[in-house]
């Protein structure tokens, strides 16, 4: 699961690569105007594999991008830019430079910069879909992921979680302490997520988890595990270890369900859990029954 810090790191690494590219462009300009010996990142036939952006591309070998088409656009425009730069410099060395070669380089350079700008803006937009307090993705990303996952599988489950007696925490300890509790609860829940489980901050003291499980029994066990994980991790508030629990509502997502309808079913189950004692999970069945887990 991608965290806010991961996005910030991606933006930082991209900014570093951009700055290194500007340094490369300055070396290119220096040679064009003053002559000298161009380095391998400019003149070599494989220059696109030797410069800073080649190192930036290598990160996607182990961490696929959320926007692979945009990364591909940067890759191909980067390759074209290096080809045009090399062709231009060879013509300068051979004293055969012409206006078309200069225009080709400028056009390729601009295409490369445009591709970077589009990708960077996408990263910033993606970052803005995350909560600054907890670092978790917010509702808009929940909506996008729900549409994608519902189409991809018929074994999707939605679990809504609500911190028990959160208003009492705010009233007793203050809103700063309430923010601390939200951060710690989010961190604990996120740390407990397994492969294929995604958690979102839905609003206030509510969280939503999307996960796949082929069996009803397995889904019920997942909901219990997540609830118990938090129960076992009290939060330190002003020197006091404060027990914090959640109540959960679980529902299986049907192919025809919208996010709104799935949330409504889970919310009904959660409401049942609140009214029957809190610190428990309740499942809403397709028949409308409420089953305590």
Q: Is 229 exposed, middle or buried (0-12, 13-18, 19+ CB in 10 A)?
A: middle
Give the separation between CA 103 and CA 106, rounded to whole angstroms: 5
- Which residue, 113, 126, 114, is CA-closest to 10? 126
Q: Round to whole Å and give the CA distance between 206 and 182.
A: 9
The CA dihedral of 65, 69, 71, 73, to the nearest 10 degrees, is 180
Which H or E run includes 212?
A: strand 206-212
- Do residues 199 and 182 make contact, with C-beta atoms less than 8 angstroms apart? no
As a whole number of angstroms, the distance between CA 216 and CA 104 comes to: 60
Q: Kindly report the backbone phi and psi dihedral angles of residue 245, in degrees, each rounded to the nearest multiple of 5, phi listed first.
A: -130, 165
CB atoms within 10 A of CB 212: 19
- Helix then strand then coil, % of the chain, to nearest 5: 60, 15, 25
Alpha carbon separation from 178 to 169, 172, 235, 241 (Å, rounded):
6, 9, 11, 14
Give the Cα separation of 212 and 278 in Å (integer). Answer: 25
Which run of H or E residues covers position 156?
strand 156-163
List the catalytic residue out of 197, 205, 206, 287: 205
Region for 182 from its dihedrals, namely left if φ exceeds 0, alpha if ψ lies in -120 to 50, beta otherwise: alpha
Q: Check if 205 is active-site.
A: yes
Active site residues: 205
């Amino acid at each position: 699961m991608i965290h806010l810090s991961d996005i910030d790191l991606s933006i930082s690494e991209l900014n570093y690569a951009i700055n290194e590219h500007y340094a490369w462009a300055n070396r290119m300009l220096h040679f064009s105007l003053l002559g000298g010996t161009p380095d391998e990142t400019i003149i070599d036939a494989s220059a696109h594999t030797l410069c800073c952006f080649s190192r930036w591309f290598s990160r996607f070998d182990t961490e696929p991008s959320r926007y692979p088409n945009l990364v591909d656009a940067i890759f191909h425009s980067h390759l074209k830019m290096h080809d045009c730069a090399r062709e231009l410099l060879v013509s300068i060395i051979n004293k055969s430079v012409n206006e078309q070669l200069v225009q080709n380089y400028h056009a390729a350079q601009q295409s490369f910069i445009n591709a970077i700008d589009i990708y960077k803006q996408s990263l910033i937009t993606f970052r803005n879909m995350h909560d600054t307090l907890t670092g978790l993705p917010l509702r808009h990303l929940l909506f996008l992921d729900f549409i994608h996952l519902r189409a991809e599988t018929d074994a999707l489950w939605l679990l809504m979680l609500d911190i028990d007696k959160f208003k009492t925490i705010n009233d007793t300890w203050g809103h700063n302490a309430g923010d601390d509790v939200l951060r710690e609860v989010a961190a604990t829940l996120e740390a407990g997520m397994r492969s294929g489980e995604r958690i979102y901050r839905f609003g206030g003291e509510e969280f939503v988890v999307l996960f796949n499980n082929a069996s009803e029994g397995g889904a019920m066990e997942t909901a219990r595990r997540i609830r118990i994980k938090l129960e076992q991790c009290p939060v330190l508030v002003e020197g006091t270890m404060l027990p914090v629990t959640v109540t959960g509502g679980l529902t299986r997502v049907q192919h025809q369900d919208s996010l709104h309808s799935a949330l409504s079913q889970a919310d009904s189950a959660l409401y049942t859990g609140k009214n029957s004692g809190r610190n428990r999970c309740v499942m809403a069945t397709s028949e409308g029954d409420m089953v305590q887990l």
